[in-house]
């Protein structure tokens, strides 16, 4: 549908019809208008597979949706650091959406992981805006390559679940620009998502949905966005203000407030031109979505699942591997301990929950490769009662039962110790049960359930060859880290997690994930510890730009595992870092090359990370920031030259006086690091004359 035709259609609509168009029809569609030939498009969550609730009138449970392939959660996808993989994940999801008549996928979430305690971190990518922007963008391009729209969410500064419907994220201008807006900016400019979802929270006192500065002035004015802004479900508090600000479509359907929009026009509070603009944006999205629909496709679950298995294999992060205990030997005697071995935790709770097609588990898959024995190790945790932020049954008795379900069971531990002693190696499957990590609620701390920690302590004391496989959506503390030989972080792997775990543990694939976030030593160390989740409805982001590794590296604070960290079954070395110029000039780029070689015996993938570090200067800045990365596959002995192109914006900070990005005159280093803490090569660059990127 052309722009002119859309304008014509809007001109034919009555004021009331236009007002009605600005809210949905029930939870998952826009309103159709037969008289005008306006169809409705279907929207479904979400980032981790389709949650299509076709007969939503009958659905009583948020988890009740049509079966669909369950993808690795975003926390896992991001750990792959692989743009091409994210594109392929998105493309598969897009194809499945096409086949199931879904026109818009409500995801991905690219909010910054300000605290490891945000209950929804599993649905976000990183604590680093560049990583979230690059990988989120690749995933969106993949989805949209299938002719299905993506809706990037939750714009803006929505980094906690506590009081998410009312709290104000109070963030200064520089921090917004350098950190919280950055991933959205690059995605909007480069991947061009069909929709942007405005978040529940307020930003500096004004609800996101009603915040004209962010929804229109920046998004459209500065970043050139041409898609449609949709409110998060129930995030609009003032219908007319939302339309005026640029949140075109309020979701879900709230027919009872549609008249507020028409009344506001009649009363002269809302300019009818703004309403027309909103309608044009909605109609463009709806027609684009519906017209791109194809009826000739069928779902190929095998192909889709194969891509997802590869994604888990590329996302798992090997955190420790003493004495090269991994990979396990085929045919050896291995004890699998912990209920997650058979009943994996593979996805997060809330709106991204998917009813899987075929869930696999490590116990069944590894049975083909070794002599596996099993012990449950800990009781099954209670199921969460929270339904997206609504505490349905808050009575103390139930809370007590939930707490008890996480406590150690001495009998199960004793059994596990015996099984472990009778084996060559014990592999403990531990992590966070859904009860401890779900949309609608923030986590209380970094600890695993007491039942999991006690099990690891007891088994590792009895069996020196203990390996821990973790399933969790966000960082956890590991008080037992010195007692175990290996730790493999799977994050939440989706429905193919069983096959992938078997391949990783037995060395059929080499782990190549890197942490897209810091694992701190303790929660008190985290940069926002003193202001998360805020008081009353105010959440001061007082740590400013010092989020995640920007804080720990600047303060030289020890962490459990740094951002960017991850081991491999092989070894890589770096040589010959070169820059084609050492002078940074306005409009000029710097081409950087570095050689990376696999000097081990296994093939493997390495994530090459480039950080930029200002050397002094009067502006306080993080000591280094990731500005480029690439993932390369190398056979044993193979060497490759990786190249990056840096532009002045990679050296810039936000100047609050000039309201723009600026590169200060001075010296900078370009560094190649194995992770945010460990730099291996460097080259100095100088900028002789300041550069303003207004």
For ligand BGC, which is the closer residue by CB, 46 or 433?
46
Question: What distance in Å separates the CA atoms of residue 158 and residue 180, rounded to the nearest whole number?
Answer: 9
For ligand BGC, which is the closer residue by CB, 175 or 351?
351
For ligand BGC, which is the closer residue by CB, 6 or 197?
197
Residues listed for the chain: 694
Between residue 334 and residue 363, which ones bind ligand BGC under the rule CB under 6 A? 351
CB of 153 to ligand BGC, least distance (A): 5
258 binds ligand BGC (CB under 6 A): no
For ligand BGC, which is the closer residue by CB, 11 or 392?
392
CB of 100 to ligand BGC, least distance (A): 16
Within 8 A by CB and 6+ apart from 34, the residues are none
In order of 96, 158, 370, 585, the CA distances from 311 in angstroms are 17, 27, 24, 39
- Side-chain-side CA neighbours of residue 410 (13 Å): 0
CB of 532 to ligand BGC, least distance (A): 19
Structure tokens at 598: 């696999």
Question: What distance in Å separates the CA atoms of residue 32 and residue 286, rounded to the nearest whole number?
Answer: 10
Q: For 610-624, give one letter per residue: b (16+ CB within 10 A) or e.
A: bbbbbeeeeeebbbb
In terms of phi and psi (left: phi > 0; alpha: psi -120 to 50; beta: otherwise), the region of 313 is alpha
Within 8 A by CB and 6+ apart from 431, the residues are 340, 345, 448, 452, 470, 471, 472, 476, 490
CB of 91 to ligand BGC, least distance (A): 21
Contact (CB, 8 A) for 72 and 494: yes
Ordered alpha helix ranges (H), 478-539: 497-505
CB of 73 to ligand BGC, least distance (A): 13
In order of 266, 281, 419, 469, the CA distances from 258 in angstroms are 13, 17, 64, 51
For ligand BGC, which is the closer residue by CB, 46 or 614?
46
For ligand BGC, which is the closer residue by CB, 232 or 606?
232
Q: Which of 223, 209, 309 is nearest to 251 (CA)?
A: 209
For ligand BGC, which is the closer residue by CB, 153 or 550?
153
For ligand BGC, which is the closer residue by CB, 151 or 664?
151
Of the residues 17, 45, 258, 260, which one makes contact with ligand BGC according to CB under 6 A: 45
Of the residues 24, 46, 513, 562, which one makes contact with ligand BGC according to CB under 6 A: 46
Question: By rule CB under 6 A, what string of x and - marks binding of each residue 175-214 to ligand BGC?
Answer: ----------------------------------------
Structure tokens at 289: 């979505």
Within 8 A by CB and 6+ apart from 566, the residues are 79, 317, 318, 319, 511, 512, 513, 514, 515, 607, 675
CB of 351 to ligand BGC, least distance (A): 4
Of the residues 17, 232, 441, 499, which one makes contact with ligand BGC according to CB under 6 A: 232
Of the residues 6, 9, 106, 241, which one makes contact with ligand BGC according to CB under 6 A: 106
For ligand BGC, which is the closer residue by CB, 154 or 627?
154
Contact (CB, 8 A) for 447 and 475: no
The 10 Å Cβ neighbour count of residue 558 is: 11
CB of 369 to ligand BGC, least distance (A): 39
Structure tokens at 261: 């929009």
Question: By rule CB under 6 A, what string of x and - marks binding of each residue 302-341 to ligand BGC?
Answer: ----------------------------------------
- Side-chain-side CA neighbours of residue 58 (13 Å): 4
Chain CA centroid to CA 302, Å: 25
CB of 120 to ligand BGC, least distance (A): 8
Closest residue to ligand BGC, based on beta-carbon distance = 351
Question: What distance in Å separates the CA atoms of residue 539 and residue 528, rounded to the nearest whole number?
Answer: 10
274 an active-site residue? no
Helices 83-99 and 301-315 pack at an angle, to 10 degrees, of: 150
Total residues in contact with ligand BGC, by rule CB under 6 A:
8
Structure tokens at 19: 């007002």
CB of 472 to ligand BGC, least distance (A): 20
Question: By rule CB under 6 A, what string of x and - marks binding of each residue 366-405 to ligand BGC?
Answer: ----------------------x-----------------
Between residue 476 and residue 505, which ones bind ligand BGC under the rule CB under 6 A? none
Q: For 413-449, give one letter per residue: b (16+ CB within 10 A) or e.
A: beebbebbeebebbbbbbbbbbbbbbbbbbbeebbbb
Of the residues 29, 113, 153, 182, which one makes contact with ligand BGC according to CB under 6 A: 153
CB of 562 to ligand BGC, least distance (A): 29
CB of 136 to ligand BGC, least distance (A): 14
Within 8 A by CB and 6+ apart from 627, the residues are 130, 610, 611, 612, 646, 650
In the sheet with 679-687, reading across from the earlier edge strand, the strands are 625-634, 604-615, 666-673, 679-687
CB of 232 to ligand BGC, least distance (A): 5
CB of 199 to ligand BGC, least distance (A): 8
Within 8 A by CB and 6+ apart from 45, the residues are 51, 105, 106, 107, 351, 352
Question: What distance in Å separates the CA atoms of residue 586 and residue 534, rounded to the nearest whole number?
Answer: 41
Indicate the DSSP class of residue 85. H
Structure tokens at 277: 């603009």
Contact (CB, 8 A) for 103 and 149: yes
β-pairing, 639-646 with 590-598?
A: antiparallel
Question: What distance in Å separates the CA atoms of residue 143 and residue 145, rounded to the nearest whole number?
Answer: 5
**Considering 170, 232, 258, 274, which one is annotated as catalytic?**
232
Residues with a catalytic annotation lie at 232
Chain contacts with ligand BGC (rule: CB under 6 A): 45-46, 106, 153, 232-233, 351, 388
């Amino acid at each position: 549908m052309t722009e002119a035709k859309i304008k014509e259609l809007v001109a034919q609509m009555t004021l009331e019809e236009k007002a009605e168009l600005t809210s949905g029809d029930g939870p998952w569609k826009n309103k159709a208008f037969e008289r005008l030939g306006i169809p409705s498009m279907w929207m479904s969550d979400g980032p981790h597979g389709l949650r299509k609730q076709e007969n939503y009138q009958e659905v009583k449970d948020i988890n009740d949706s049509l079966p669909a392939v369950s993808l690795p959660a975003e926390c896992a996808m991001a750990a792959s650091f692989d743009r091409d993989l994210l594109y392929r994940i998105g493309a598969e999801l897009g194809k499945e959406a096409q086949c199931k008549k879904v026109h818009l996928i409500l995801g991905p979430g690219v909010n910054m992981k300000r605290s490891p305690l945000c209950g929804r971190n599993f649905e976000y990518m990183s604590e680093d805006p560049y990583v979230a922007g690059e990988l989120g963008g690749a995933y969106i391009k993949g989805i949209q390559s299938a002719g299905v729209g993506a809706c990037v969410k939750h714009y803006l500064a929505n980094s906690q679940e506590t009081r998410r419907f009312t709290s104000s994220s109070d963030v200064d201008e520089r921090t917004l620009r350098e950190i919280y807006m950055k991933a959205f900016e690059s995605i909007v400019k480069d991947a061009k998502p069909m929709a942007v979802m405005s978040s529940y929270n307020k930003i500096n006192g004004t609800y996101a949905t009603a915040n004209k500065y962010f929804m229109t002035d920046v998004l459209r004015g500065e970043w050139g966005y041409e898609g449609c802004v949709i409110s998060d479900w129930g995030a609009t508090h003032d219908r007319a203000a939302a339309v005026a600000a640029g949140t075109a479509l309020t979701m879900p359907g709230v027919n009872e407030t549609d008249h507020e929009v028409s009344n506001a026009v009649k009363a002269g509070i809302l300019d009818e031109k703004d309403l027309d603009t909103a309608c044009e944006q909605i109609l463009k999205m709806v027609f684009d979505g519906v017209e791109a629909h194809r009826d000739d496709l069928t779902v190929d679950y095998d192909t889709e699942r194969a891509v997802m298995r590869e994604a888990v294999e590329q996302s798992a992060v090997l955190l420790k591997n003493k004495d090269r205990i991994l990979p396990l030997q085929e045919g050896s005697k291995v004890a699998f301990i912990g209920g997650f071995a058979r009943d994996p935790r593979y996805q997060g709770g809330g709106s991204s929950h998917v009813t899987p097609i075929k869930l696999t588990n490590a116990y069944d898959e590894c049975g083909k490769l070794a002599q596996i024995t099993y012990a449950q190790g800990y009781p099954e945790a209670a199921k969460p009662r929270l339904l997206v932020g609504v505490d349905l049954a808050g009575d103390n008795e139930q809370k007590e039962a939930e707490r008890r379900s996480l406590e150690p069971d001495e009998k199960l531990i004793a059994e596990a110790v015996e099984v472990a002693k009778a084996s060559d190696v014990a592999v403990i499957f531990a992590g966070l049960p859904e009860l401890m990590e779900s949309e609608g609620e923030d986590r209380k701390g970094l600890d695993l359930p007491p039942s999991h920690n006690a099990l690891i302590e007891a088994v590792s004391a009895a069996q020196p060859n203990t390996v821990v496989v973790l399933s969790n959506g966000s960082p956890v503390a590991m008080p037992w880290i010195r007692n175990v030989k290996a730790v493999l972080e799977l994050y939440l792997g989706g429905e193919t997690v069983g096959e992938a775990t078997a391949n990783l543990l037995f060395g059929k694939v080499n782990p190549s994930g890197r942490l897209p976030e810091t694992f701190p030593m303790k929660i008190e160390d985290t940069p926002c510890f003193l202001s998360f989740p805020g008081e009353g409805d105010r959440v001061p982001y007082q740590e400013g730009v010092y989020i995640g590794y920007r804080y720990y590296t600047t303060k030289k604070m020890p962490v459990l595992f740094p951002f960017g960290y991850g081991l491999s079954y092989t070894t890589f070395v770096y040589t010959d870092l070169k820059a084609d110029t050492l002078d940074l000039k306005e409009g000029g780029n710097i081409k950087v090359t570095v050689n990376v070689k696999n000097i081990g015996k296994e093939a493997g993938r390495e994530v090459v990370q480039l950080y930029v570090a200002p050397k002094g200067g009067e502006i306080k800045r993080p000591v280094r920031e990731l500005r480029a990365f690439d993932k390369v596959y190398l056979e044993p002995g193979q060497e490759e030259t990786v190249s990056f192109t840096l532009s002045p914006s990679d050296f810039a900070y936000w100047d609050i006086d000039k309201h723009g990005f600026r590169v200060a005159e001075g010296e900078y280093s370009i560094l190649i690091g194995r992770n945010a803490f460990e730099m291996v090569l460097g080259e100095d660059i100088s900028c002789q004359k300041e550069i303003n990127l207004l």
